[in-house]
């Protein structure tokens, strides 16, 4: 008999951000020790988001997904988990040309510290580009999708399938990435891309019940709260 894990909508919603879902799915894939069905009982638009994120992962033969009717339960919402990520379907394979992939928020419509702590000024970006150029790197900017929560230097109208292909292609061949803590940073981690993750955490963030700097510290990952110091990082 297969193990069943039910995912319900809670009284405080569900972690539906791109990075939240990558973390969530990766954790379930890593924890699976027996054949398991994950039954999703979320809102239809959230089901679509989950289905998109599933495609980014290397498959796990123990996991099957089912999508059922929307059910709301008064339960504790999902929090991100500190763990080694399950691998992506597309993994990093740096090309000979040196370039840095950048995805950094220049503004965010939410005023919560959780989001504002990830925003970078235009002055800082200009300084960063200058430092990268002096280090011999070209810069490739990863856009955001228009009307998403945060904005980068430029945004595009692509649908998710096109957008996903674009972002994975950029990340796959870059020398390293510099990302605001968020969805693309988590995708970069999933793809095993050397990643400098920017956040200037001023207070604990909801849904992160662990040390975020430790989470983004590893052989391939470096936390950063001052992008003027990026050239001190090992990627150089």
Q: For position 200, what pLDDT does the model report?
A: 85
Cα end-to-end span (Å), the chain: 52
Q: For position 229, what pLDDT does the model report?
A: 82
Give the residue from 73, 91, 114 where a domain finishes. Answer: 73
**Residues 68 and 121 occupy one common structural domain:** no
Q: Measured between alpha carbons, how far is 182 from 192 in angstroms, rounded to an integer?
A: 16
Domain span at residue 31 reads 3-73
**Residues 119 and 225 occupy one common structural domain:** yes
Cross-strand pairs, 155: 144
User: In what helix (H) or strand (E) does residue 123 lie, and over which residues does it extend?
Assistant: helix 122-134
Closest C-alpha among 185, 227, 175, 191 to residue 56: 191
125 within a domain of the structure (yes/no) = yes
Tokens 């993994």, residue located: 91
**Residues 227 and 117 occupy one common structural domain:** yes
204 within a domain of the structure (yes/no) = yes
Series of mean pLDDT values for 10-residue runs along the chain (236 residues): 89 75 95 97 91 96 96 82 95 91 82 75 91 93 72 63 91 96 95 94 67 89 89 60
Number of domains within the chain: 2
Q: Measured between alpha carbons, how far is 37 from 63 in angstroms, rounded to an integer?
A: 6
**Residues 48 and 120 occupy one common structural domain:** no
200 within a domain of the structure (yes/no) = yes
């Amino acid at each position: 008999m297969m193990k069943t894990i039910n995912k319900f909508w809670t009284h405080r919603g569900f972690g539906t951000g791109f990075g939240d879902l990558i973390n969530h799915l990766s954790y379930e894939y890593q924890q699976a020790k027996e054949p398991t069905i994950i039954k999703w009982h979320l809102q239809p638009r959230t089901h679509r988001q989950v289905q998109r994120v599933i495609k980014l992962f290397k498959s796990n033969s123990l996991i099957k997904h089912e999508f059922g009717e929307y059910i709301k339960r008064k339960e504790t919402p999902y929090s991100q988990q500190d763990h080694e990520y399950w691998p992506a379907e597309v993994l990093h394979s740096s090309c000979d040309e040196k370039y840095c992939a950048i995805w950094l928020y220049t503004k965010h419509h939410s005023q919560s510290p959780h989001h504002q702590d990830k925003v970078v000024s235009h002055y800082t970006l200009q300084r960063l580009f200058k430092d990268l150029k002096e280090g011999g790197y070209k810069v490739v900017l990863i856009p955001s999708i228009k009307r998403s929560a945060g904005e980068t230097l430029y945004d595009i109208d692509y649908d998710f399938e096109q957008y996903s292909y674009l972002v994975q292609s950029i990340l796959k061949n870059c020398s390293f990435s510099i990302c605001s803590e968020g969805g693309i940073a988590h995708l970069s981690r999933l793809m095993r891309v050397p990643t400098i993750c920017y956040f200037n955490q001023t207070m604990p963030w909801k849904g992160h019940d662990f040390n975020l700097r430790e989470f983004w510290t590893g052989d391939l990952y470096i936390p950063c709260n001052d992008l003027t110091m990026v050239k001190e990082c090992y990627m150089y």
